[in-house]
Amino acid sequence: MDPLLSKTLDLNYLSLCAIDIITHMLEPFITGFYKAEIQRGIAKFFIKKTIDTIRALKKEPNNTDLRGNMHILSGLALSGIATRGTGGFHELHWLEHIVSGFFDNVSHPAGLSILLIPWLKYRWEKNKENITDLFSFILQKENVKKEEIFEYLDKFYKEINLERSFRKYGINEKDIDNFVKEYAFLTAKFPKFFPEKIDEKNLIKIFEQTLL
């Protein structure tokens, strides 16, 4: 994990990389239904460590130890050690792949960054307990409330300059119909990748919130 390999990546792109690392573990954590105590504990630690690391890099962008930590966390996030056996799945990633499939000017992590908060709001009623568990650990506060979670995310996004809207990429309301149709095609074609299907009303709402 040579930190010099990311030497030319600026902080903004590293911030996007952090979101990709986080979501690879966060999605199965949120959607998971098995106890999986060990994996869930690992996921919480790795997610918080990624957040702490990107915040530290904002202050010390040339710190090779911190950049090396990001490399290690990236590998661990993809290894499955924090996600296998939870019963969870990568719903958010599929939504992003749809967007960047139509708009190749949207990088994968930028799309994840923009979709994450609307997706979490959709998932709140379905997975309130898992979301609360994760953010209680991140915030080091028991029984954290919904408004505290989204206030925290809003501040975190501003702190590390993460994107919140697809409009800068030329995406607007008329494109949502194509996203919805592609989602319907993919869920029918590859049902094993979609253990749960987002109903059309909520799917539209998720994409609408990416255009605020």
pLDDT tens digits for range 28-52: 999 999 999 999 999 999 999 999 9
Nearest to 72 by CA among 5, 159, 153, 161: 5
Q: What would the pLDDT profile of 171-184 be if each residue is shown by its tens digit?
A: 999 999 999 999 99
Q: Comparing 7 with 87, which gets the higher pLDDT? A: 87
Q: What is the pLDDT of residue 27?
A: 98
Q: What is the pLDDT of residue 7?
A: 77
For residue 164, pLDDT over 80 is answered with: yes
In this prediction, residues 113-129 reach a mean pLDDT of 97
Q: Token match 């919904």: residue?
A: 146
CA distances from 38 to 34, 70, 141, 210 (A): 11, 22, 20, 34
In this prediction, residues 99-113 reach a mean pLDDT of 97
Give the pLDDT band (50/70/90) at residue 90.
very high
Q: What would the pLDDT profile of 63-83 be if each residue is shown by its tens digit?
A: 999 999 999 999 999 999 999
The pTM score is 0.95
Correct CATH for 3-209 of 2.70.150.10, 1.20.120.1750, 3.40.225.10, 1.20.1090.10: 1.20.1090.10
Give the pLDDT band (50/70/90) at residue 1.
low
What CA–CA distance (Å, rounded) separates 183 from 96? 11
What CA–CA distance (Å, rounded) separates 153 from 115? 13
In this prediction, residues 131-156 reach a mean pLDDT of 97
